[in-house]
């Protein structure tokens, strides 16, 4: 009886154990929250500091774990590379992430220490396996357009390129000008191929900044183009100050770098230790061709512009310029936002009183960020001393633009030299209007009449004043936009605060010398005569200023189509009685404009989204009109 009970007990235990084992093999189901699902799908070694689910699954297939791969990395990667069970896409994408995890663990970028060879090798291995996945597996990149894994692998590649190129750049100073190849971390690095042109035709940048590392305040948007390659800002040495040269090419250039590996087959690419950097100008190149496949080229169109503004010192310099103090500018400069391109139309932006190119922070960024506008336009910003009289700035800006166009396009046949667009804010808008207007003889009445002057003095006086009082429209310009512009001046220039600031303003030394010389010319033979009083920039904006009054109705060239954008600040009455806080609508309105937009805004209307959208519309309209032969 006992033996039977014992046997029964054993059978029960066996049954329970079997049931338990069966229970362990059952599948349980639970619901995943939406954000957890998205995070798990997208998480990888870059974004979450852990291997992606796809790589973990690949390790599971070949009987490996994350821990075992960290402790025996060589054995792990060798197993993944050689064990059947994974297809090429699974194998190469997993190897790319495994190598990247190793590179990140050994990278000392945060400490500022130089990258060690083993880390560089790991980044290059990452890039090579990602490169092989993208271009040497059965499916083309376009066939995987909806594959999240491809997006991850492109991210692995671009990050590895960023870090490897940063290390390459540190080696350049030691290589000299004639190098063709060098050895780094067991790799043969070939001389880069590039179509990027740097300011002053510099051979190499002095600084290379990964765009992904940058964050900006003050810029509403950062414009990028997703694609192949890593984005950088190439910095060249600033040009030596030279007032004889009117133009300044950009010291900060957008650049995209890509690494290509030697070989024409998958096996050759995986076996090679030879790599070359391709350097591309994203303003010139939308795509890049790798292994006979054309793919989108990555780009960042805001980073170079943002660094330029952040390092410019414009804010304090523009105030010193307005007051005529040391450290300000004394002559206009044409600041080019991108290296000169003969095949792009030119937009010229002119800031207002006491301002600088910072007035166009978001305007220029939005133009360069718009793909259609970027393909068709290049931006030049005029930086000028706003303490000088309007007539003086008008003459000097015209001279600077003429010199710039003559330097880059002596024949005047390039697209960049024709159908230019002027965009001016406030005082800049006033100057822009005069750049497309005809003075005739209407401004000579401003010169004091002296009947007792000798004919020789009269002739010399006329010669000296002609550049300021007699002008014709710029023939290269066929469209203009005026924002919050006091075409007929403003009464606010007479207010106590404006007068107080005006009394602090010193005219540029060159203007003072010219005034003294002209005063001497106006003296009679007995050396008698009152000295000339020349208004400064603030004086010139008054609605009673003689120059403003005389120039208010000068005719605009019939070749020029023009538009106005006005600000309306806390107005409850009709539009004609409104103002933007500084400029009355009656002064900023222009009869005959192709369009006029009133924006609820203070005087700085150019920075409002509504005004920027209108500028983008006008610039698109200009391109369309030119294509259709309407302008």
This prediction has a pTM of: 0.87
User: What pLDDT shows up at residue 27?
Assistant: 74
Query: What are the tokens at 622?
Result: 């200009």
Write the pLDDT tens digit of every residue in 116-159: 999 999 999 999 999 999 999 999 999 999 999 999 999 999 99
pLDDT at 178: 85
Residue-level pLDDT at 245:
87
Phi, psi (rounded to 5 degrees) for 230: -110, 140
pLDDT for res 458: 78
Query: Cα separation of 630 and 628, whole Å?
Result: 6
Q: Looking at domain 327-442+478-507+554-627, which of 3.40.50.1820, 3.20.20.240, 3.40.50.1100, 3.40.50.720 is its CATH number?
A: 3.40.50.1820
**To the nearest 10°, the Cα dihedral for 405, 410, 411, 414?**
-40
DSSP type of residue 240: P
Based on its alpha-carbon atoms, the radius of gyration of the chain, rounded to whole angstroms, reads 33
Q: Which residues of the chain have pLDDT under 50?
A: 19, 21
Lookup: tokens for 116? 């060690």
Distance between first and last Cα of the chain = 113
DSSP state, 63?
T
pLDDT at 322: 79
Q: Of the candidates 312, 332, 324, 307, which has an alpha carbon nearest to the alpha carbon of residue 244?
A: 332
468-503 per-residue burial string, b: 16 or more CB within 10 A, e: under 16: bbbbebbebbbbbbbbbbbbbbbbbbbeeebeebbe
The full set of domain ranges for the chain reads 37-162, 186-303, 327-442+478-507+554-627
């Amino acid at each position: 009886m006992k033996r039977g009970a014992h046997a029964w007990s054993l059978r029960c235990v066996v049954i329970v154990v079997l049931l338990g084992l069966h229970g362990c093999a059952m599948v349980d189901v639970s619901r995943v929250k939406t954000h957890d699902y998205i995070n798990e799908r997208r998480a990888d070694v870059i974004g979450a500091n852990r291997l992606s689910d796809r790589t973990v699954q690949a390790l599971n297939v070949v009987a490996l774990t994350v821990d075992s791969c960290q402790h025996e990395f060589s054995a792990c990667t060798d197993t993944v590379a050689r064990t059947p069970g994974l297809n090429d896409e699974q194998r190469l994408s997993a190897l790319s992430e495994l190598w990247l995890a190793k590179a990140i663990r050994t990278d000392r970028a945060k400490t500022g220490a130089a990258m060690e060879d083993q880390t560089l090798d790991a980044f290059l291995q990452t890039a090579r396996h990602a490169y092989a996945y993208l271009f040497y597996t059965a499916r083309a990149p376009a066939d995987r357009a909806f594959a999240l894994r491809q997006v991850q692998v492109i991210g692995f590649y671009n990050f590895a390129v960023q870090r490897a190129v940063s290390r390459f750049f540190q080696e350049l100073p030691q290589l000299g000008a004639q190098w063709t190849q060098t050895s780094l971390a067991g790799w043969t690095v070939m001389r880069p191929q590039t179509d990027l042109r740097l300011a002053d035709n510099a051979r190499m940048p002095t600084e290379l900044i990964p765009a992904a590392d940058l964050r900006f305040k003050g810029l509403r948007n950062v414009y990028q183009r997703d694609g192949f390659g890593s984005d950088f800002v190439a910095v060249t040495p600033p040009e030596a100050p030279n007032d004889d040269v009117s133009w300044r090419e950009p010291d900060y250039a957008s650049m995209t770098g890509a690494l290509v590996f030697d070989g024409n087959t998958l096996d050759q690419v995986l076996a090679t230790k030879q790599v070359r950097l391709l350097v591309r100008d994203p303003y010139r190149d939308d795509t890049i061709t790798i292994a006979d496949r054309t793919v989108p080229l990555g780009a960042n169109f805001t980073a170079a512009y943002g660094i330029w503004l952040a390092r410019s010192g414009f804010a304090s310099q523009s105030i010193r310029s307005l007051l005529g103090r040391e450290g300000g500018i004394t002559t206009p400069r044409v600041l080019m936002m991108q290296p000169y391109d003969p095949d792009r139309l030119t937009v010229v932006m002119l800031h207002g009183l006491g301002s600088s190119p910072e007035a166009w922070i978001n305007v220029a960024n939005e133009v360069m960020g718009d793909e259609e506008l970027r393909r068709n336009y290049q931006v030049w910003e005029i930086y000028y001393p706003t303490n000088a009289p309007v007539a003086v700035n008008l003459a000097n800006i015209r001279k600077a633009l003429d010199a710039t166009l003559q330097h880059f396009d002596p024949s005047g046949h390039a697209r960049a030299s024709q159908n230019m667009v002027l965009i001016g804010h406030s005082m800049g808008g006033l100057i822009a209007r005069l750049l497309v207007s005809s003075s005739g003889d209407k401004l000579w009445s401003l010169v004091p009449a002296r009947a007792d002057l000798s004919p020789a003095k009269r002739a010399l006086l006329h010669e000296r004043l002609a550049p300021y009082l007699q002008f014709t429209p710029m023939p290269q310009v066929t469209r203009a936009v005026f924002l919050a512009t006091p075409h007929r001046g403003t009464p606010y220039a007479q207010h106590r605060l404006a007068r107080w600031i005006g009394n602090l303003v010193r005219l540029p030394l060159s203007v003072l010398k010219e005034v003294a010389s002209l005063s001497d010319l106006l003296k009679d033979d007995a050396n008698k005569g009152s000295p000339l009083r020349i208004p400064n920039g603030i004086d010139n904006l008054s609605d009673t200023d003689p120059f403003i009054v005389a120039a208010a109705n000068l005719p605009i060239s019939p070749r020029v189509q023009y538009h106005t954008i006005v600000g309306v600040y806390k107005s409850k009455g009709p539009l004609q009685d409104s103002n933007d806080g500084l400029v009355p609508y009656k002064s900023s309105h222009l009869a005959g404009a192709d369009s006029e937009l009133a924006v609820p805004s203070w005087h700085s209307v150019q920075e409002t989204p509504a005004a920027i959208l209108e500028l983008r519309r006008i610039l698109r309209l200009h391109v369309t009109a030119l294509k259709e032969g309407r302008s």
